Every structure is written in C-alpha cells, then in structure tokens.
Amino acid sequence: MISRHLILIWLLLVMHTGYPQSLKRSNIWYFGRNAGLDFNTSPPTPISNNTLNTWEGCATICDEEGRLLMYTDGSTIWNKNHQRIPNATNLGGNSSSSQSGIIVPKPSSNSSYYVISVDYEGASGGVQYCEIDMNANAGLGGIVRKNIRLLPRAVEKLTTVPHCNGRHYWIIAHETGNNKFNAWLLTENGIDATNPVISSVGQTHGYASRSAIGYMKSSPEGNRIALAINDQNAYELFDFDKKTGKLSNPIYLRDNRFYRAYGIEFSPNGKFLYLSQAQTQAFIYQIELGANNATDLMSTLTVVGRSINNDFGALQIASDGRIYIAQDGSLFLSTLNNPNQKGLACNFQENSIRLSKNSSLGLPNLIPSLFSKTISVNIKQAQNACGYYTLEAQANTTEPVSYKWYQNGKIISGQTTSTFLSKQSGEFVVEVTQNKECDTLRATASATVAITHLPLSKPTIISSSPSNNCQQTNVTLEVMSQNSLQYDWYRNNVKFATQLTRISVTQEGFYQVKAYNSCDSTFSDSLKIVINSIPTNPLGQDTSLCEGQHLLLKPLQSGWTIVWDDGSNAAERSITQAGVYSAQFEINGCNIKDTLIVTSKPSFQFNIGNDFELCFGEKTTLFTPSNAPTNVSFQWFNASQKDSIRVEQAGIVWLESDLNGCKYRDSLIVRLTNCSNLSTFVPDVFSPNQDGFNDIFYPIISQPDLVKNYYFTVFSRWGNVLYHTSNPKEGWNGEYLNSPCSSGYYVYTVQFQYLDGTTSKTHQQRGSFLLLR
C-alpha cells in the first residue's frame, strides 16, 4: 500500500522587472480623420469619439489598465474626455509631420509625462517638449512647462529607446542638412536638454521638403534603429548602444523600388524589418535582419504585400502582436497578421480592419519598449510515475536565463536547469536571473511539498528447465515478489516485456527482471537461459523478381552450412528467372530445409525520344509516356515526379518508371546552341480610343521569353509615375487612377536583361511618345 500527499503553495515574487508600463499602455489609438481603435478587445473595436484630425503624426498613451490618458498631434494635447488640456497648444509639432509627437512617462513617476514634438519639413519649430502632470485639473492633466527647445530644425523623425538600466529613456531625433542624430537622456530629473549624445553617422538629410519625410523606429529590444529617407528612395539601418546613446554601423538600403519610402517597423522578435511606400500601387517589403551588409540584406528583400488602389502609409506594431498599415483616405487598415514569420507566411491581409472614420498616412507614434516583455516566473508541478513531483520553473522570456534551486533555505548543488525532481518534503524556491547589458533582472517563486511512501523488497526469478535440442523450446520464467510492484523484463539488456509476472521465452540469452513501485529505487534479479534455437525460414519470405533483372538469394544469417537444390554450396546464389528454390541448412548441429518461391514481375518500358539541340535561353517540355498504366509512377533525373518537365540546360536527361517496384530507365542528351536574335521596338505614338488598334503602349520585344528582370515605367512630363509593370507582355492603356490621360507627350523607361549566347546582357532605353485621342 502506497500513500502519497502533496501540498503546493504558490507565491510569485518579482524583483526589479524593468519598465513599469505594460502592453495595455498602447491599447487606445487615435489617428487620421477622427479614426480610432480600441485594443482592449480582440479583434480591436473601431472608435471615433475623438477630436483628432491629422494627416500624419499623432501619439496616444493609456494607463496600465488600458484606459486612455491623453493623445496629441504634436501641436495640441487632448485629455481622456477629448478636451484640450489647458495651455497645451502651439507645442511646436505639426499634423503634417510624419512623427509629429511622442508621449513618454517620466521615470519613477506615476503622473508626469513628457510630450516631445517635431515640426514638418525641417521648419523652425524644430524639436520641443512639454511636461504634463496628470494629477492636475482633477486628474485630467495640466501643463507644467512647455516649448522647451531641443533642436532648432529637424527632420520629421522622432522615437525613443529604453536605457539599458531599465529605468531611463533615450529621446532620438535627426538634424536637418547633415547626418547628425541627437539622443537626449530622460531620467527622474527630466530631459538633459543641454548634453545630447550626437552621432554623426549615415546619410545626410537635406533641406528639401521630401528629405524630412518618413518614419524612424527602434526595435522592441532597442538595439537597432531604422528610418526612411523619402527623397532618396532609401532606408537606413543602425546599431544602437542603449548604454551610451550612440548610433553606429550604418547600412544604406537604396533601390528604385523604394520610391517615396515612408513607413518602417520591426517584427516583435526583431528578426525582420518591414517597409512601406506612400504612393498608389505601393508595396510592403520584408527584409530578414541576419546579415550586416546591404548586399546580403537586399538579397532577402521580399514583396509580402501589395495594393493597387490604396496609398500605404505608416506601419505600427500593436499589443496584439500584429503590424497595422495605414491607408490614406481609406475606411480600412491592412495588417501583417504573423510578422514574426518569414516571407509570405507573415500573412499580409489588405483591408482587414474596418474603421468608423477615414485613415490618413499616419498611425500613433508609440514607445517601442512597450512591446518588450519583462521577466517573471512561476512554478508548475506534475507527479511522475514514481510518485515524486517534478517542479518546473516557467519564465516568460526566450532569452538566456540561469536557474538556482533552494530547499529549506539552502542551495541545491548542481541543480541549474528549469526543472527539479522533488523526492523529499520541504520548502523549494527557484531563482531565475537574466543578465542585461548594464543591469540584472531576477524573479523568484516557491512551493511547499510533502511526500510519504513505503519501501520495496527484492524480486526472485523462478524458471523451468532450459532445453538443449534443435526444436523451438519454451522456457517459463516467473517472478515472486509483492503484488503491488511493476515489472520490466530484459534480454541482453534490451527491454521486451512489461507488467507481466510470468513470461515464456524461446531464445537464449541473459534475462533480467526489474521491479519498482512509484516511490523507491529499482531492484532486480537475473539468470542465463541456453537454447539451441534455429530459424523456421532461413531463406526468408517468398519474394518476386523484376523482368530483365537478377536476384541474389542468401540466408538470413552468415556462417551456416548450406547445400542448394542444384548441388552448389555457395553462400549466395544469383538467379534471373522465377521459380521454386530450396536449400538444406545445418545450424547449431540441427538440420533444416527451407523453400523459397520467386514470382516474376513485369516492368514498364518506354522511349522518351532522341537527342536534340536547344537555343541558348530556350526551353522545351518533355512528357511521361501517355500509354503508361495508371499504377506506373515516374521520376525524372532531377527527382521530379510530375507528368512533364521543363528543359533549358545541356546535359543528360533521364526518366525512370516504377511498376510495383520494378524500374526501367531511358535517357537522351540535350545540347545548347547559339541562335538568339533579340530586338526591341518602342512606338512613338499610340491612340487609346478603344477601336482595337494601337490601344496599348508597350515595348515590342522579338523574344520576350528570353527577358528577365524587366521594368517598364511611364511618367508624366512632371516626373510622376503613371504606370509600372515587370511583365514584358503587358502595357499602358492611357489611364491613371481609372481616368483617361489627356493627349500630349509622355516619357518612358524600359530596362531588362537577356542572354546573348552564354553572356548575360542588359538593355536600357528611355524616350518620349505622343498620346492621341
């Protein structure tokens, strides 16, 4: 009889878990033309109970329960009742600034906040801040001070990064006309406005209006910063030192596909970077952040989203782990539903969130560290088969941590993993430690365990007499011990039976029984059994022989004396025909005869054709035989099992059939020859009047199937993109945004690559043409 009792008392104590804010501090969004979302529900609920009307920049912040505190467009601040906070106007920002403002809690305070603002297009408002006391005006907030200038002029980029000490924040902006970042430290004493950390690194941001446009974001862990440079069609990526406030290691990502670069966001796990463009027919791109140079990063560039009708704007991660995409003038937002996944698995969904009011280009500028979890731990208990209890420490982090286990106040030597097997009663405590760059996070949890049990006696094996003859012999083994025990049987240290008190064995070997209950160590007894056993089928099971092939007959085990039915005594026998084959064996002094029946199996034979030549860049298709039975499978030389294969390279091409395991192979040789004569003609006039003649404008390429990396773009006389395609078989219908364009001259560019013999060449052409109506 086994008695068990356990009492588990839960206690969770978290010591210095980093930032006090939770994910809920970002749960209310206000943006666009009085649009809003409430993330306190899932999915988020559309709301429009605000007075915010902004084209771009905005920011919101909630308390730790997800209740609204205030929101801003960088120029004005409204409280939770959607009223202007007294004197909280003319703060230096502008609703047309990409990131016109951001709201940051003052360290070690539950009521003070800093609202930092930046003017649009490098205007004279520069970067300013004000301080808000939310205890003022009966909890609706009041200005403590405002218009404290940090920079005279700056681009429209503003973000924050947590200091590595887990308490303070870096406020980061970029000057106009140079490559200087400014990082101010926000501490319990406020913003150190006179001693910014300046990093002269990366590209120069010019004075032109478009030079200022675009977002800047930090990763959730704060170790990287990325930004968009609108007029350069580029993005830039930096390392950030959370201890010193310095930016370093710039990586410049410029590409014509990044036309009007605007939005940028990191995935929650920091492994991917997402990019958007503020233009019609825009794309969402993903870059995998494993490399440290532009070439390797750009090699991972993937189009994960596209819209024909919407202008994409800001990208912003939310508390539900999804990335939301602004769409200018739309009643919808698009989303990346699984941003931690690579490529199309990130699951772009257009128009996935319906709003109550229209979106514009901007989304709330939130504190990225809101989406970085703090450390905590609890203990989970589970009873194992032995009656003991496994204590498992469950920490809420995927980063490396260390473990220490204590019993009754004393450290348990050698216990440094997340699990601990408790075989004794006592008070158990686990301490989890996570080392940060300039700080250490710790969390502890404890459990009380009480266990009682009864001892175990040794089992004894009783066996019948072993036999030494040539027939299959059964030997009975029986264990004598307590009825409450569980048993495992082993032969030559390999377990073959369990939960049995009596077994019958037919093979010789070293037999052992192990008895155990759910509390004590295992006891065992053993003995050796000698049996001259012989196999019943030394040649194995009946088999089959494929047509036109040979089969090697041999016994299942070497070292036996053998005489085949043809009088030979070779250890192996090769046959090419079906039939009945037999052999006489002498095994361990015992004689046995075995017979093997071999049946014939057909194969499917065919011809895939003669050798042939291909032009360089040309492709052709080969097919499996059409007269093959339905139970025949095929495999090409490249392991493909499809009904056809595209061939475009020289070499040997073979196809193999498989009919019930019988295979047949045929092959041919492909040679390449130079026969290309590619030419390009671009018309200088077209008339899209729907008369069926000359209605579509496009370059005419003599061999479009040889073309790769094709880019064809139509511009207005002022340089605006009216049409773009990467398909050489498509063209422009003379419309822009579903409206006919007027008669006149337009500009085109076309670029593509093609193979001339074995040489890859690039064709580039630019010109103008006349549209007639």
SS (H, E, C) 216-257: EEECCCCCEEEEEEHHHCEEEEEEECCCCCCEEEEEEEECHH
Q: What is the pLDDT of residues 172-193, one digit of tens each?
A: 999 999 999 999 999 999 999 9
C-alpha distances in Å from residue 554, one per residue of 543, 586, 723 = 12, 14, 73
> What's the chain's length in residues?
773
What would you report as the CA-atom Rg of the chain, rounded to the nearest whole angstrom? Answer: 38
Could you tell me which of 4, 2, 15 has the C-alpha nearest to residue 381? 4
C-alpha distances in Å from residue 121, one per residue of 94, 130, 154, 350, 599 = 10, 21, 8, 30, 86
What would the mean pLDDT of 432-455 be, rounded to a whole number?
A: 66
Three-point CA angle 494, 496, 499, nearest 5°: 125
Q: Please give the mean pLDDT across all residues of the chain.
A: 85
Question: Residue 189: CB partners within 8 Å, gap ≥ 6?
Answer: none
Q: Which residues of 505-544 are buried (b: 16+ CB within 10 A; e: fewer)?
A: beebbebbbbbbbbbbeeeebeeebebbbbbeebbeeeee
Q: What was the pLDDT predicted at 260?
A: 92
Could you tell me which of 380, 459, 456 has the C-alpha nearest to residue 420? 380
The burial class, CB within 10 Å (0-12 / 13-18 / 19+), for 477 is buried
Backbone angles phi, psi at 369, to 5 degrees: -70, -10
Q: What is the pLDDT of residues 568-579, one digit of tens each?
A: 888 788 888 888
3-class secondary-structure state, position 385: coil
**Tokens, residue 344:** 């199309």
Percent of the chain, pLDDT > 90? 49
Q: What is the pLDDT of residues 489-538, one digit of tens each?
A: 788 888 877 767 777 777 777 777 777 665 555 656 666 665 666 677 78
Please answer whether residues 479 and 501 qualify as being in contact, where contact means their C-beta atoms are separated by less than 8 angstroms.
Answer: yes
Query: What's the pTM value of the predicted model, to 2 decimals?
Result: 0.54
CA atoms within 13 A on the CB side of 695: 6
User: How far apart are alpha carbons 382 and 420 in whole angstroms?
Assistant: 11
Q: What is the pLDDT of residues 5-57, one digit of tens each?
A: 333 333 333 333 333 346 789 999 999 999 999 999 999 999 999 999 999 99
- The residue that leads in pLDDT, 554 or 351, is 351
What would the mean pLDDT of 210-239 be, rounded to a whole number?
A: 94
User: How far apart are alpha carbons 685 and 524 in whole angstroms?
Assistant: 96
Percent of the chain, pLDDT > 70? 85
pLDDT of 212 above 70:
yes
pLDDT band at 474 (very low <50, low <70, confident <90, very high): low
- The residue that leads in pLDDT, 429 or 137, is 137
User: How far apart are alpha carbons 141 and 541 in whole angstroms?
Assistant: 88
pLDDT of 4 above 50:
no
What would the mean pLDDT of 129-148 be, rounded to a whole number?
A: 96
Q: What was the pLDDT predicted at 2?
A: 30
- Please tell me which of 148-162, 496-510, 652-666 the model is most confident about, judged by mean pLDDT: 148-162
What would the mean pLDDT of 674-689 be, rounded to a whole number?
A: 82
- The residue that leads in pLDDT, 281 or 56, is 56
Q: Which of 60-74, 294-308, 391-405, 564-578 has the lowest mean pLDDT?
A: 391-405
Q: What was the pLDDT predicted at 18?
A: 35
Please answer whether residues 158 and 212 qualify as being in contact, where contact means their C-beta atoms are separated by less than 8 angstroms.
Answer: no
C-alpha distances in Å from residue 522, one per residue of 357, 464, 481, 529, 704 = 71, 25, 13, 23, 77
Could you tell me which of 264, 260, 266 has the C-alpha nearest to residue 275? 264
User: How far apart are alpha carbons 480 and 487 in whole angstroms?
Assistant: 11
Please answer whether residues 239 and 248 qualify as being in contact, where contact means their C-beta atoms are separated by less than 8 angstroms.
Answer: yes
Q: What is the pLDDT of residues 85-137, one digit of tens each?
A: 999 999 999 999 999 999 999 998 999 999 999 999 999 999 999 999 999 99
Please answer whether residues 78 and 60 qualify as being in contact, where contact means their C-beta atoms are separated by less than 8 angstroms.
Answer: no
State yes or no: cis peptide before 44, omega within 30 of 0. Answer: no
What would the mean pLDDT of 363-374 be, rounded to a whole number?
A: 75
Could you tell me which of 385, 426, 387, 395 has the C-alpha nearest to residue 409? 426
Strand-pairing partners, residue 750, are 712, 765
